[in-house]
Amino acid sequence: MYFCNMNPVASATYYLRYLATARGRHGVHSPFMYAITDRVLHGQEVPAIPIERIRDSMRSSREVISVTDYGAGHNGKAYPREVRMIARCSGITRRHGQLLYRLARHLEPESVLELGTSLGFGTMYLAAGAPNASIVTLEGCPATAAIAEANFREAGLTNIELITGPFEDTLDKVLEGDFRPGLVFFDGNHTRDATLRYFRRCISRRGEKAAFVFDDINWSHGMREAWNEVRSEPLVSATADLFRLGIAFFDPGLQKEDFVLRY
């Protein structure tokens, strides 16, 4: 469940605020954002793909791996953890994974970057939604990455490149050369400073009319501050706050506006 990793005080405060301000699709007058609401947030069910069967298998696995965690408050510490607990409390949910699938399908990016693979559920939804795109995903933990790669093979997804190591070592190397992601999913170190650092590194290397998706924007006060700074970035044309996820769009043809959308 999403809430198992959230700061309960922060999440309750922000959720009540979200409920009071969120609009449905008929309250959105921007044609661009209406299309996002209609086709991505409330689009058709994702076709049958094996991702959730793989997740169910992971949720019942009692295998214990040594997790190297570079995320919030861990700084590269290693500790034992059951795979089933990672599957239950980490990574994107089915509902939000299907949203990623529809977003990738709607935007049709040539390349996608993900920061934070975990067991690969979000990665697989992105890869399935953009089958012609090059998917690059970064994961700090070698043991977790090995399981994710096995999951990709089981799902039959061949357009994914997984790079293992701390983001501080891998992100800049990925952004060198001609790689220009049209869709970026930030799902790694959920702290304010790290999120903004990775965000700013990706801005100058983004593809044309890119979209950046941020997970856990209400996980803590720090993450909410990071999201507010993303919203205020002059290059960001429009944003969509979905409570768990925040999406920033880069399209100079859009009127600058921040949306809180019911999902």
Residue 69 has pLDDT above 50, yes or no: yes
pTM reported for the whole predicted model: 0.93
Pick the CATH number of 2-51+90-260 from 3.40.50.300, 2.60.40.10, 3.40.50.150, 3.30.70.270: 3.40.50.150
Residue 73 has pLDDT above 60, yes or no: no
Residue 161 has which token pair? 């490149």
User: What mean pLDDT do residues 185-207 have?
Assistant: 95
Per-residue pLDDT, 74:
54
Sign of the alpha-carbon torsion through 210, 214, 217, 223: negative
3-state DSSP of the chain: CHHHHCCHHHHHHHHHHHHHHCECHHHCCCHHHHHHHHHHHCCCCCCCCCHHHHHHHHHCCCCEEEEEECCCCCCCEEEEEEHHHHHHHCCCCHHHHHHHHHHHHHHCCCEEEEECCCCCHHHHHHHHHCCCCEEEEEECCHHHHHHHHHHHHHHCCCCEEEEECCHHHHHHHHCCCCCCCCEEEECCCCCHHHHHHHHHHHHCCCCCCCEEEECCCCCCHHHHHHHHHHHHCCCCCEEEECCCCEEEECCCCCCCEEEEECC
Residue 252 has pLDDT above 60, yes or no: yes
Per-residue pLDDT, 91:
84
User: What mean pLDDT do residues 157-183 have?
Assistant: 94
Percent of the chain with pLDDT over 90: 79
**Mean per-residue pLDDT over the chain, rounded:** 92
Residue 173 has pLDDT above 70, yes or no: yes
Distance of alpha carbon 239 from its chain centroid, rounded? 15
Indicate the domain borders of the chain.
Answer: 2-51+90-260
Percent of the chain with pLDDT over 70: 94
Per-residue pLDDT, 6:
58
CB 192 within 8 A of CB 226: yes
Residue 91 has which token pair? 């990574």
Residue 3 pLDDT grade (very low, low, confident, very high; cuts 50, 70, 90):
very low
Residue 131 has pLDDT above 80, yes or no: yes
- C-alpha to C-alpha distances, 246 to 34, 139, 229, 240, nearest whole angstrom: 16, 21, 12, 6
- Greater confidence, 126 or 5? 126
Residue 5 pLDDT grade (very low, low, confident, very high; cuts 50, 70, 90):
low
- Chain segment 75-118, per-residue pLDDT in tens: 667 889 999 999 998 889 999 999 999 999 999 999 999 999 99
